[in-house]
Amino acid sequence: MSRQNFHTHTRLCKHASGWIDDYCQAALAQKVSVLGFSDHTPFPDGRWFGVRMSLEELPEYAAAIRQAKTAYPGLAVLGGMECEHVPEYLDFFRDTLLGQFELDYLAGTLHSYQYRGKWTALYGSAITDDQLAAYADQVAAAINSGLYAFIAHPDLFGVSLRGWSPAAEACSRTIVEAAVAGQVPLEINAYGLRKKTIADGDGCRHQYPLRRFWEIAAEYGRLLVVANSDAHAPEDVWGNTDDAMNLARELHLHVVNDALAAHLTASSTH
């Protein structure tokens, strides 16, 4: 089976190692045939600067990807960006990232969400029912924007969820139903499988992917799913993606890595 990974970071985000070429070489070694870069987007106002490239580094990132596209026979390289769904920057994503820098795709994400007028990180204290609803609505808005090729780790709320609840179920359904309606793939993120597990209720679980989320997702026949490594080191360019694929297979989820690769490489800029 061919291997595609659409979720890859670089040292520019300050919490990953390796540069574009390191990941391309690792991809060839790990039999990955389609490699999409999706480093954390910079913001014109410099927000969340500690975990992303600066605006000044964007040309270097785009140029390195452009060079890599012709440098590695046998490897299809795609340029993308992982974008926090900040409504006031959707024009920047569209006009600058996709337009001016000719990136091939954007991955939508929310590591933080707006709650009572403030951006609140998912990583932190236990998430409340109200906060789950706010997060779900904003992920649905990201899906409905039509800007994103897929939504990265929609179940990231698992990092601060303590005990499954009706609110967690409602949050899951809001996200999945928006994804089904818009036919935007949701990502099973294998990086979560490489992170330490947490105690929750009687047992231990991955912070994400959240099995309960994907069991609910499996109830929806038309849901599209991508499995990605979310590589933060070249050796993880395939990472635990087989495990993510196995979860999808077990739950009879419809994995579309092949179709997404065909779609994105067909429209890819060279």
Minimum distance, C-beta of residue 39 to Zn ion, in the bound complex (Å): 8
- Tokens representing 113 are 């969400």
- Residue that is written with structure tokens 């209720």 in the block: 201
Sorted by sequence, the CB contacts under 8 Å of residue 207 that are 6+ apart come out as 158, 159, 192, 195, 196, 197, 198
Minimum distance, C-beta of residue 214 to Zn ion, in the bound complex (Å): 18
- Classify the phi-psi angles of 185: left when phi > 0, otherwise alpha if psi is within -120 to 50, otherwise beta: beta
131 sits in which H/E element: helix 129-144
Minimum distance, C-beta of residue 153 to Zn ion, in the bound complex (Å): 8
Minimum distance, C-beta of residue 188 to Zn ion, in the bound complex (Å): 13
Using the minimum distance from each CB to Zn ion, give the nearer residue, 77 or 167: 77
Minimum distance, C-beta of residue 114 to Zn ion, in the bound complex (Å): 20
Minimum distance, C-beta of residue 124 to Zn ion, in the bound complex (Å): 17
Using the minimum distance from each CB to Zn ion, give the nearer residue, 84 or 230: 230
Cβ contact 86:43 at 8 Å: yes
Sorted by sequence, the CB contacts under 8 Å of residue 159 that are 6+ apart come out as 122, 123, 207, 208
**Coil/strand/helix, residue 151:** strand
Cβ contact 149:82 at 8 Å: no
Using the minimum distance from each CB to Zn ion, give the nearer residue, 82 or 155: 82
Using the minimum distance from each CB to Zn ion, give the nearer residue, 155 or 230: 230
| Cross-strand partners of 32 | 3
Minimum distance, C-beta of residue 38 to Zn ion, in the bound complex (Å): 6
Closest chain position to Zn ion (CB): 230
* Residues constituting the chain: 270
Using the minimum distance from each CB to Zn ion, give the nearer residue, 119 or 164: 119
Using the minimum distance from each CB to Zn ion, give the nearer residue, 92 or 208: 208
Q: Are strands 76-84 and 105-109 parallel, antiparallel or unpaired?
A: parallel
Residues that bind Zn ion (CB under 5 A): 82, 230
Using the minimum distance from each CB to Zn ion, give the nearer residue, 82 or 236: 82
- Tokens representing 228 are 């990605």
